[in-house]
Structure 1
Amino acid sequence: MPVLAIAVRELEARVRRGQIDAARFQAVALLARDERARVKADVSLTEAQRDTYLKRLDGIATILAQTAARQPSLFLVLHEDAEISDSALRLKRAMQVDGGMEPDPEPVRPETPPTAVRDQRPVVPRSVATAQLANPFLEPDFSAVEQRRPTARRLAGWELITPLLSSFEQAVPGASSSMELPEPTPSRLPSGLELMPHQARVVAAAVHGHRTFLLADEPGLGKTAQALLAAEAANAYPLLCVVPSVVKTNWAREVALWTPTRSVTVVQGSGDTIDGFADVVVVNYEVLDRHVGWITTHGFRGMVVDEAHFIKNKKSQRSQHVLEIADRIRQRIPRPLMMALTGTPLINDIDDFRAIWQFLGWIDERKPGPRLMAGLEETGLTPADPGFRPAARQTVVDLGIVRRRKADVASDIPARRIADLPVELDAATTRAIRNAEQRLARRLVQRYDAMAARAERSDKTVDGIDHELVRRVARRELTEAAESSSGENVFAVVRRIGQAKATLAADYAAQLARNAGKVVFFAKHIDVMDAASELFESRGVRYASVRGDQTPDVRQRNIDAFVNDPNVTIAVCSLTAAGVGLNLQVASNVILAELSWTNAEQTQAIDRVHRIGQTEPVTAWRIIAAQTIDAKIAVLIDAKASLAARALDASGDETVSPADVQLEALAGLLTEALTDRQT
């Protein structure tokens, strides 16, 4: 029981930090289920002992449910037909050993085909094995290999990754944000389809032999079509597309739409139904760990990673799998087509670039790759020279960064705006939330005073409010809040606000749907979506739900219903599960019932509606709880928007510190409390 308790707390803390570990979640859930069955069957226990054990297990189950509510995709691993991953089995056995129990016996695996080189990745669908045996000799493609002249090793010994990243963080206003692209060339497209000029230029670059792209166009500018037609131009087949689960079906449809002569297969679970001979293989991040073995030996000549900001955390399993596959593809094919698609490559920090650049082969763990190093050598500069950073930035951009804004390339897309809609919570709820905020502020003040007293004893006093100490207190509070779900921490307060706003936001959505047409309703938590759904049902409003705990088929049916059925007027969407990759431009109004902690997540959600094909001005209504911390968070989210503008668009806007919004919100709360105390 102590091992389970520690494991579930660690899991909860990871999810709060945005580190999704489906294998660990599944292992803890399985062990808790087994332990419950054991306790109920143990006749040696008294009723009191059994009740005590079951109550503790109920507490663990509650934390698991709360954790899954933060990341609804975790519900998928709890289904009865969900396959138990090898990673989950290993973790479960390790926890059993730690708890002094006899571990489950090692599962007996069937002998894997000789093409599966990794025993820890035993899933090799029969169709894939057949395809690999039918084509055992994969001819390398050397046609696009560049011939380079020797360059001086002026930069040998320099640490270059940090200067390269800072060249984007400190971009000169007006600096180029996109590689030079050729003029569009005539191309044969399926009947009735047409590319916009900005899309055709990327395809033309692939025709001319360019093979690495960070396609960072603003959301809604048709990146999927560009990637598929670039693969066609480069003959990069078989092509691997790694995508979020919510858009797997949509990717298959886009393949059939833009490249109808190419066959496509979608990997589900263990991949028993996939076609190993298909030209395009679509797989989602969540099941990638089961398929790494055969994927790395299948002979892919191209790889597309959709929503590439998903791999920004290089310590996560999904990032490690993607980077491993990319490296193996490059080992077999000298210049494969590698494309990272994301409208929001920077979420919190300029370091978010690292994993994407590594996927593209531009850098490795510690230094630039050969092409980037050659380009840096050709500048004739070192990091000690004043002009190095602008030249280095341009060198990276020329490797394949493509960033276009809607305002520049798709002027026919109507404008969008974000409108804050303050709502007054009922008196009792407002009072409860304000009391919770005040208790949190008092705890922060007490901690500040204790740390300030220690500073006085060491003669390190600061007149007035010590803002450095304020941030240290806020950072410590965040760390403790991430490790515990008890008490009034900032996450609990914000979630309580979201719950309180749920019916008010849903009521406004119902009014909009009645008067202005289809509406997309976004929320972060399951209980907020449930409350909205209940209100819509009580009003007789037809809606479709798009959330992480649905199977892909159910999710796609609901999306189709919203898009195609005029009587389905509201889509109730998870901000996490439905905030990327979907085309919902049949609506022109978006309700943001809960605030995200990042501007990028908010932007992604809005751009499900504000994209190519939209004919009406788009309005995103942010529901803000008046007289609460909600309003402060909204201001901080807006401030964070300048990070991508500065790094990618070289807009010249002042960039805020990369410290996250949570830290700034707590620091602001503490500063306000200290100021009130002084006055």
Structure 2
Amino acid sequence: MARDARRRPGASRTASRSRQRGRAKDNEGIMSVLARAVREIEGSVQRGSMKPSVRTKFQVIALLVREERAQVKADETHSEAYRAEQLKRLDGIATILAKVAVRDASLLGLLAEDAPVSDAARALRREMLTAAGRTPGPEEVPVAAPAAAAVNTAKRQVVPQAVISRQLANPFLAPDYEAAAARPAQKSATRPRRLVNWELIGPLLSSFENATDGTTASMALPDAGAVSTPPGLELMPHQARVVGGTEAGHRTFLLADEPGLGKTAQALLAAQAADAYPLLVVVPNVVKTNWAREAARWTPAHPATVIHGDGDTIDGFADIIVVNYEVLDRHVGWLGDLGFRGMVVDEAHFIKNKKSQRSQHVLQLAEQIRSRTLRPLLMALTGTPLINDIDDFRAIWQFLGWIDERKPGRELMEALEETGLTPVDPGFSSAARAAVIDMGIVRRRKSEVAADIPARRVADLPVELDDAAGRSIRAAERELADRLVARYRAALEARGDAGAVDGIDADLVRRVAGAELADKSTKTGENVFSMIRRIGQAKAGLAADYAAQLVRSVGKVVFFAKHIDVMDAAEAIFAERGLRYSSIRGEQTTRKRQQNIDAFVNDPDVAVAVCSLTAAGVGINLQVASNLVLAELSWSAAEQTQAIDRVHRIGQAEPVTAWRIIAAQTVDTRIAELIDGKAGLAARALDGSDEEVSSASDLQLEALVALLTDALTASP
């Protein structure tokens, strides 16, 4: 007995060493797999063989490197030396990926945190993890390939056990007697006559560009009345008016309030007023936990559940079911059969591409809900309903049932008939725009409804990149400008005198810039995408240094960056300065992200929130700070606005300043001017702005146009 007892500590140490050796071997396995795969990618790019399978492998390697880095950093079972060695090996793999991306800039998009992950990528990821001796978890199981959708739909779909229990408890949907009584009345409704043969979708969309009258596009709502809210919570008047509109019987809303005006609370209380339960809420992944939290605050009598992965942990009997776009394909089958009486789509601009799977699933579910409930509550929430083109409205309007693929819906058609006008008649655009707005567009600006929210401003801080990196960037920019000028002059020579114009041919400039943008080859030199990435890397230290200074003078600061390496560099500087920070990134689990948000908001010693511009740009509240630093510029003005509105929100007690770090004497300055000069389609279509709209405005193209124009102006 004593002998056995004496052996146990040694046996325990042996087992511990065995487990550590097992983990070490496991890491060695993944490193070997990644190293071999990245060399294969490098060889393929050098041979000019960029097949879809190569692009898939590139993305999967990047994902695994990112995940492995996070695991190594969090692993406390190994020594610092071992972890440093593993991180060094991962850096080596990442360096090869970066070099490959420089050779083919089209790969850069695959490195973005919000880049879509295809079924093929999921399958390859599983294979690589298996080859490394690891067992993928449930979230990592690939879904079936779309090429065999007819055969594999059943494999792709899941039905959580909790949902089966709900169905067994109530196997029949409650009959909608209201719908049955109303349908005969529909048949006797006014039938379209004057407009039956007109194409109307195009004129309806263009009316939002051409018929602005200087007023915000917002339907008439009842005056703010008393809305029952849980103790300690109170709606602002503009929020109460939407709930009042729902109580008055309105059931479809494009709630396009500017970010920060409390759209989540309005939607939840509108659903309560309409008794729209069960309620389906479709949201981006980063905000689904926040939706459950807000539901518990504003409508505590109606339990909410969140679908994670295959939905094994959901409450099948909940009144509110929250699902993110990324896993909607797995659950669209049973969701369509559950009998929802309401549906909310948050960040509705996510469905603007009607060809995308996420858009098709959302539209399918909305149609199923309309087929079973006469007047369901349907709400599309977005502070930036238009990103690129007025056509972005199509999918949102179709979700709400205002239009279908070819024509207006019955209710909108009747409203258009009542105008007595056709698209060729004067005044049709104004009348059509008003008819669509009355269908349920609600747009309020902070300046109109939230006088207690302080003003915000964007302050530019030009920085000089006077080191070797800065000189290299400026040289690359000159090389790019020279290449554009050479293309322009070659096109002029090929054209001869025909079509010659005095001075700079603006049309030819745009065509040359477009050709450069479409040319993904880097054999002739660096392109604008890799150059902007390098500028962000070069600014990282300066931006972090300024953020650290702000902390000393104003307190908490939010630091936004677009790329992981910029975030890493900033966090290293904050650590050197002894500043505690929270990191909010795309690769984090929802629970970890929320813990980091709570730490920044609630812990007075956490001075900085280091946020991914794409992963933290929506759905989180950071108004505990009033200063933020934008370390990198985005290609989207809306993305910058979303980031600022994480701080400039209801509850903010101080003026908000966004400090935008601009690299002087580089294309960075031109991009900042383009962002500021772009009126934005929302301003034109929804806010009644008289400013011109570039309907297919593309900052990338405009940046190249400006670069070429400046070079031609400066050249003899």
TM-score, structure 1 as length reference: 0.86
Asked if 1:581 corresponds to 2:637, the answer is no
Cα offset for 1:88?
5.7
Identical positions, percent: 64
Question: Which of residues 537, 541, 565 in structure 2 aligns to 1:527?
Answer: 565
Q: Secondary structure of the residue that 2:260 maps to in structure 1?
A: coil
**Cα distance in 2 for residues equivalent to 1:168 and 1:604:** 23
Q: Per-residue CA shift, 1:379-404, capped at 9, x if unaligned?
A: 11110011000000000000000000
Question: Which of residues 159, 175, 179 in structure 2 aligns to 1:124?
Answer: 159
Taking a change above 3 Å as real, the CA distance of residues 69 and 571 of structure 1, as seen in their structure-2 partners, is farther
Aligned to 1:167: 207
Structure 1 residue identity aligned to 2:235: L
Task: Please tell me whether the aligned partners of residues 523 and 575 of structure 1 are also in contact (alpha carbons under 8 angstroms).
Answer: yes
Task: Please tell me whether the aligned partners of residues 72 and 547 of structure 1 are also in contact (alpha carbons under 8 angstroms).
Answer: no
Aligned to 2:508: 469
Q: Secondary structure of the residue that 2:139 maps to in structure 1?
A: coil
Higher relative contact order (CA 8 A, sep 6+): 1
Cα offset for 1:484?
6.8
Asked if 1:83 corresponds to 2:122, the answer is no
Aligned to 2:174: 139
Asked if 1:154 corresponds to 2:194, the answer is yes
**Cα distance in 2 for residues equivalent to 1:655 and 1:309:** 18
**Cα distance in 2 for residues equivalent to 1:168 and 1:90:** 36
Give the alignment of 1:227-238 within 5 angstroms: 227-238=267-278
Task: Please tell me whether the aligned partners of residues 303 and 318 of structure 2 are also in contact (alpha carbons under 8 angstroms).
Answer: yes
Cα offset for 1:422?
0.6
Structure 1 residue identity aligned to 2:489: D
Asked if 1:592 corresponds to 2:630, the answer is yes
Taking a change above 3 Å as real, the CA distance of residues 486 and 187 of structure 1, as seen in their structure-2 partners, is farther
Cα offset for 1:532?
0.5
Aligned to 1:567: 605
Asked if 1:291 corresponds to 2:331, the answer is yes
Asked if 1:6 corresponds to 2:51, the answer is yes
Q: Secondary structure of the residue that 1:563 maps to in structure 2?
A: helix
Q: Secondary structure of the residue that 1:621 maps to in structure 2?
A: strand
Q: Per-residue CA shift, 1:98-142, capped at 9, x if unaligned?
A: xxxxxxxx99x9xxxxxxxx5254211111122123222213445
Taking a change above 3 Å as real, the CA distance of residues 648 and 578 of structure 1, as seen in their structure-2 partners, is same
**Cα distance in 1 for residues equivalent to 2:329 and 2:578:** 43
Aligned to 1:317: 357
Taking a change above 3 Å as real, the CA distance of residues 434 and 88 of structure 1, as seen in their structure-2 partners, is farther
Cα offset for 1:68?
4.8
Cα offset for 1:206?
0.9
Q: Secondary structure of the residue that 1:620 maps to in structure 2?
A: strand
Question: Which of residues 674, 688, 708 in structure 2 aligns to 1:670?
Answer: 708
Question: Which of residues 167, 171, 182 in structure 1 aligns to 2:222?
Answer: 182
Cα offset for 1:464?
2.2
Deviation larger for 445-454 or 564-573: 445-454
Cα offset for 1:486?
8.9
**Cα distance in 2 for residues equivalent to 1:519 and 1:604:** 16
Taking a change above 3 Å as real, the CA distance of residues 497 and 465 of structure 1, as seen in their structure-2 partners, is same
Give the alignment of 1:429-444 within 5 angstroms: 429-444=469-484
Q: Computing the radius of gyration over CA atoms, which structure comes out larger, 1 or 2?
A: 2
Asked if 1:547 corresponds to 2:582, the answer is no
Task: Please tell me whether the aligned partners of residues 243 and 282 of structure 1 are also in contact (alpha carbons under 8 angstroms).
Answer: yes
Taking a change above 3 Å as real, the CA distance of residues 60 and 674 of structure 1, as seen in their structure-2 partners, is closer
Structure 2 residue identity aligned to 1:165: L
Question: Which of residues 434, 449, 454 in structure 2 aligns to 1:409?
Answer: 449
Computed over aligned residues only, the root mean square deviation of the Cα atoms, in angstroms, reads: 3.0
Structure 1 residue identity aligned to 2:471: R
Question: Which of residues 611, 614, 628 in structure 1 aligns to 2:649?
Answer: 611
Aligned to 2:535: 497
Q: Secondary structure of the residue that 1:439 maps to in structure 2?
A: helix
Aligned to 2:669: 631
Asked if 1:460 corresponds to 2:518, the answer is no
Q: Per-residue CA shift, 1:439-470, capped at 9, x if unaligned?
A: 1111112222222222227x233332211111
Give the alignment of 1:94-105 within 5 angstroms: none
Give the alignment of 1:327-406 within 5 angstroms: 327-406=367-446
Aligned to 1:225: 265
Task: Please tell me whether the aligned partners of residues 113 and 587 of structure 2 are also in contact (alpha carbons under 8 angstroms).
Answer: no
Q: Per-residue CA shift, 1:67-92, capped at 9, x if unaligned?
A: 4532257699669426356546567x
Taking a change above 3 Å as real, the CA distance of residues 427 and 484 of structure 1, as seen in their structure-2 partners, is closer
Q: Please, which runs of 5 or more residues in structure 2 have no aligned partner?
A: 1-39, 65-91, 130-135
The aligned length equals 621
**Cα distance in 1 for residues equivalent to 2:228 and 2:408:** 37
**Cα distance in 2 for residues equivalent to 1:302 and 1:249:** 19
Q: Please, which runs of 5 or more residues in structure 1 have no aligned partner?
A: 13-23, 31-53, 95-105, 110-117
Question: Which of residues 508, 513, 519 in structure 2 aligns to 1:480?
Answer: 519
TM-score, structure 2 as length reference: 0.82
Cα offset for 1:189?
1.2
Q: Per-residue CA shift, 1:249-308, capped at 9, x if unaligned?
A: 111100000001111111101111111111111111111111111111111111111111
**Cα distance in 1 for residues equivalent to 2:633 and 2:98:** 28
Structure 2 residue identity aligned to 1:409: V
